[in-house]
Structure 1
Amino acid sequence: MPNVVGSTWAHAAATPEAVALRAGGDVWSYARLRDASAAFGGELRARGVRAGDRVLLVAPTGPDFVVAYLGAHLIGAVVITMNTMATAPEIDYVVGDSGTRLLVVWHEAQRAAQRVADERALPLRVLGPEAVAGEGEPVSVPVDRDRQDTAVLLYTSGTTGRPKGVELTVANVLDTARTFVEQLHLTAGDRCGTGLPLFHVFGQAACLNSALAAGCSISLLSPFEPVAMLEMIRRDRLTLVAGVPTMWNAMLHVAGDFGPDDFADLRLASSGGASLPGEVLSAFSERFGCTILEGYGLTESTAAATYSSPDQQRVGSVGRPLPGIAVEVRDPEGAVLPAGEVGEVYLRGPSVMKGYWNRPEETAADLADGWLQTGDLGRLDGDGYLYIVDRAKDLIIRGGYNVYPREVEEVLYQHPDIVEVAVIGVPDERYGEEVAAVITARPGAEIAPEELRAWAKEQLSAYKVPHLIRFVDALPKGATGKIQKRALDWKALTTASG
């Protein structure tokens, strides 16, 4: 029977000295990773954790996260991962909702978690320098698990209500890793790398687990910083790197002499988490000589749904369905729409979640007949390529006309002085909603709003052109670097701008 750590244990037995992890100057072989995880699993067992118990892991991207993550899976625990910036109330909610048995926390994030552990009389294990496993006998054999057992419990961001725990099964995790190994043509000789947080589904399921399944190495950077990321690619001679659009954009705007010669080994960059502006894609390829391939997935689909291929890439598309995944686009009544028409995206396949933890009604609503209702708007072309138009909740209806923010953003990104942009809808008495753009400009650049609107009108219908424009030093971003539109307070921006 399977276990999430099975491939890591197999590689440690077959090629013990092969590199599994790199973090700066720290290099971990597969044997070292196995032994550390076995010791940590032994400590968890000595603390009373058993198969099926929930263990909360709050740690940044790095070897400590990986050791604790694998150690918990080794003994059959359900791993819950959270952002290291989580507050005490946020942690308390997840602990209470999930029935967490033990908290494992990075030392720099201890204060908030310690408060929760003390109030709930739960044990807390602190991770940090020299904090090695000190109790129990190392676990040498992974616990057998059923494929439909819950392996990971990831809580959604809660932008539309209280966070829900997404149950991803052993099968979800293993099948997704195998799918990405095949899709990316990963071999033991590859050297992967990412600056993504491993507590997020993209970094965890698509990056970490896929690399360990393939038996290759993965270089880890935390926190993400564009120069450090470029230096890691060059230093570790990475063959594949993964990130989100804001990361590629940040690297693109780094000054210096980074270029194709520095990244001769880099064969592929994998992007997800948000739509990638076509202008960023082409500019990145031109500067660094590397193709960025887009994919699409959600926490509820273990980060896997569609993916592009190097020989059949279509700008603006997130690719075709991954093996075993079915994609449909439906109208509000649930009828399947023909190619070319925009509707809500539905998914079905081996990567789709088991359900929401202890929420049968919400599970039934979002997972009817095995089809996951994503909340994303998209269209399929005649060849089955998916184009994500926007989040259904981000759609702007101006004077009865539908405005898709992503389409407007794609155009604005073509402006030479715009670095980042978020297009949102703002309540308006006349039109119902007005199109607004919040922009980060190139350092030293001065963009006159009226000139920008005139420029945009040459490429967009008049009702799509942002009537409201504000400039900011930086846009709010989440843990993965994804722009957080819901964190934009238009009234505050208007007041701040005078």
Structure 2
Amino acid sequence: MPNLFDPVRRHADSHPDTVAMRGEGAATGDVSAWTYHQLRSVSINYAAALIDSGLQVGDRVLLIAPSVPEFVVAYMGIQVAGAVAVPVNTMSTRHEIDYVLSDAGCALVIAWHALGPAASSAAIARGLPIRTLRPGADSGPATTPVRDRDRDDTAAILYTSGTTGRPKGAQLTVANLLAAGEIGVACSRSTRSDRTGTALPLFHVFGQASVMMTTFTAGSSLSLLSRFDAAAMTAMLRRDRLTVLAGVPTMWNAMLHTAGEADPADFAQLRIAISGGASLPAAVTKEFQARFGCTILEGYGLTETTAFGTFTDIDRGAKVGWVGSATPFTRIEVRDEAGRPCPPSRIGEIFIRGETVMKGYWQRPSDTAAVLDDDGWFRTGDLGTTDTDGDLRIVDRAKDLIIRGGYNVYPSEVEEVLFTHPDVVEVAVIGIPDDYYGEEVAAVIVGRPDSTLGATEVSDWARERLSAYKVPRVIEFVEALPKGATGKILKRAIDRETLARTVSDNPRTTP
């Protein structure tokens, strides 16, 4: 019977002294290294503490922590205990955390000690126990057997919004996440000698499934940066002699501007950089590969497909504007409106089937049925086209989804918050082009005729209720929004170019 902890156990038995993780201390900056033997021991001890506190098999545990080794310990401890990890963004507000606690029916909250009070206040209000996650994980000496799971058991619930409605919890199974690790190894050709590094958040499917699970499946080491900083990322690349780097396009662009006069020889050990989360501009690809002397490989996947769908063939290399072909154990189809497979070059909707497709949305059978058919095909809502090599090109993202610096921002969620303001009559949230983040969040608002509502008040209202990267940076007031015959707001009729010109006039915020 499997457990998501199996790769760690396997390498702890065969190569106990191999470094599994490296991370910097938040206060001292000192680098800590955890071997596979240590990771196994501390994770099992942490699980014992969770079980002693009353955690039951199948209980949902909200985990909120940055990308530090202790996140991995807590995450794996939850798996050892047979419970379900529910990781959330460290920038989540109390309102957002409260929603997840309620929807997932969480039994426990684990929160990193240095974060604000959002998680603890939400937990206290619901009468839930809180466990503070500190450096070293405070696991104690007790141990417990690793609990066996069925392959179809839910191992993690990751919350993602569609383009309508409240966030939905994608149930990723033990089999999904183990398969993600195996697929990642096959695509990147990772081995035990690799040294992977990232500043991606481990609460996100990219960092969690594509990076963390791939690293532990290969038995290699994972260097973690808790918060992205281009200079720190470049320093980590040099310090740990990384062979694999994972990130989003804004990271590569920022690193280019801090690398100075670096020569590719400075990074001779770096063989690949794995990019995802948003489309990678051709100019950035070319310059990054020249400066850092490596190959950038792009992939395409979703939370609901455990981060995997397509990946660039490491032998053929990347085609600019394309995201590779179907990964191992995966099938990709582009279908027309009648559900028939499209020939190459014909645009249609992308469907994915394979070992990494989710079990379904948590307690949402109708939403699950809308995207997942009886044969296991997942309807992505994205438009794309294939070529004669089977490579995929993304033509448009799912409806109105905004991707800001690699983070998904769902307009309906932002609109719902803005609509709660008493002086907002109508609102449309859209993405506008941005040279740094790829897209920026803009809100076009119709206010009450007698109100004095301004952009600062709207921004403050949103910031109290949404993570920082979801807050509109561009806010414009209009007398009316464009509508169709049925009264539906026509977002495509909004002048994005005019809005985009205002970006440079506003102070930049970090995601």
Shorter chain as denominator, the TM-score bin is 0.7 to 0.9
**Which residue does 1:10 correspond to in 2?**
10
**Which residue does 1:360 correspond to in 2?**
365
Matched, 1:67 2:73: yes
**Which residue does 1:215 correspond to in 2?**
219
* C-alpha separation in 1, matches of 2:508 and 2:342: 35
Q: 1:470 to 1:42 in 2, by over 3 A?
A: closer
What amino acid maps onto 1:132 in structure 2?
A: D
Give secondary structure in 1 for the equivalent of 2:367: helix
What amino acid maps onto 2:504 in structure 1?
A: F
**Which residue does 1:332 correspond to in 2?**
337
* C-alpha separation in 1, matches of 2:391 and 2:156: 30
Q: 1:186 to 1:438 in 2, by over 3 A?
A: farther
* C-alpha separation in 2, matches of 1:21 and 1:278: 32
**Which residue does 2:460 correspond to in 1?**
none
* C-alpha separation in 1, matches of 2:437 and 2:204: 23
* C-alpha separation in 1, matches of 2:290 and 2:65: 36
Decide which of 15, 29, 33 is 2:35's aligned counterpart: 29
**Aligned residues with identical type, % of pairs:** 50
Matched, 1:256 2:275: no
**Which residue does 2:169 correspond to in 1?**
165
Matched, 1:293 2:297: yes
Q: Contact conserved, 1:110 with 1:126, CA < 8 A, in 2?
A: no
Listed one character per residue, the Cα deviations across residues 146-181 of structure 1 (whole Å, up to 9, x for unaligned) are 000001100014653200000000000001101111
**Which residue does 2:429 correspond to in 1?**
none
Q: RMSD over aligned Cα, in angstroms? A: 2.5
Unpaired runs of 5+ in structure 1?
397-411, 440-465, 479-498
Give secondary structure in 1 for the equivalent of 2:117: helix
Shift in Å, 1:109:
2.4
Decide which of 39, 53, 62 is 2:59's aligned counterpart: 53
Matched, 1:436 2:496: yes
What amino acid maps onto 1:422 in structure 2?
A: E
Shift in Å, 1:329:
1.2
Decide which of 66, 87, 105 is 1:81's aligned counterpart: 87
* C-alpha separation in 2, matches of 1:92 and 1:470: 32
Decide which of 192, 196, 216 is 1:192's aligned counterpart: 196
What amino acid maps onto 1:363 in structure 2?
A: T
Matched, 1:304 2:308: yes
Decide which of 313, 316, 323 is 2:321's aligned counterpart: 316
* C-alpha separation in 2, matches of 1:292 and 1:61: 23
State which drifts further: 386-395 or 87-96: 386-395
Q: 1:69 to 1:238 in 2, by over 3 A?
A: same
Q: 1:438 to 1:204 in 2, by over 3 A?
A: farther
* C-alpha separation in 1, matches of 2:199 and 2:264: 20
Shift in Å, 1:62:
0.6
Shift in Å, 1:108:
2.2
Listed one character per residue, the Cα deviations across residues 441-469 of structure 1 (whole Å, up to 9, x for unaligned) are xxxxxxxxxxxxxxxxxxxxxxxxx9x67
Q: Contact conserved, 1:420 with 1:475, CA < 8 A, in 2?
A: no
Q: How does 1:64-463 map to 2 (within 5 A)?
A: 64-109=70-115, 111-129=117-135, 132-134=138-140, 137-139=142-144, 141-157=145-161, 160-254=164-258, 256-312=260-316, 313-369=318-374, 370-394=376-400, 419=436, 421-422=438-439, 433=493, 436-437=496-497
* C-alpha separation in 2, matches of 1:438 and 1:267: 42
* C-alpha separation in 2, matches of 1:424 and 1:330: 30
Shift in Å, 1:294:
0.2
Listed one character per residue, the Cα deviations across residues 384-440 of structure 1 (whole Å, up to 9, x for unaligned) are 1000112142499xxxxxxxxxxxxxxx99xxxx5555389986699962553489x
* C-alpha separation in 2, matches of 1:130 and 1:186: 28
Shift in Å, 1:337:
1.8
Q: Contact conserved, 1:423 with 1:437, CA < 8 A, in 2?
A: no
Equivalent pairs, count:
430
Q: Contact conserved, 1:424 with 1:435, CA < 8 A, in 2?
A: no
Give secondary structure in 2 for the equivalent of 1:241: strand
* C-alpha separation in 1, matches of 2:494 and 2:58: 49
Unpaired runs of 5+ in structure 2?
25-30, 403-432, 445-480, 485-489
User: What is the TM-score when the length of structure 2 is the normalising length?
Assistant: 0.79
Shift in Å, 1:275:
1.1
**Which residue does 1:471 correspond to in 2?**
504
What amino acid maps onto 1:59 in structure 2?
A: A
Q: 1:189 to 1:206 in 2, by over 3 A?
A: same
* C-alpha separation in 2, matches of 1:395 and 1:84: 21
**Which residue does 2:472 correspond to in 1?**
none
**Which residue does 2:467 correspond to in 1?**
none
* C-alpha separation in 2, matches of 1:164 and 1:395: 15
**Which residue does 1:449 correspond to in 2?**
none
* C-alpha separation in 1, matches of 2:357 and 2:377: 8
Q: 1:395 to 1:45 in 2, by over 3 A?
A: closer
Q: Contact conserved, 2:59 with 2:107, CA < 8 A, in 1?
A: yes
What amino acid maps onto 1:98 in structure 2?
A: A
Q: Contact conserved, 1:55 with 1:101, CA < 8 A, in 2?
A: yes
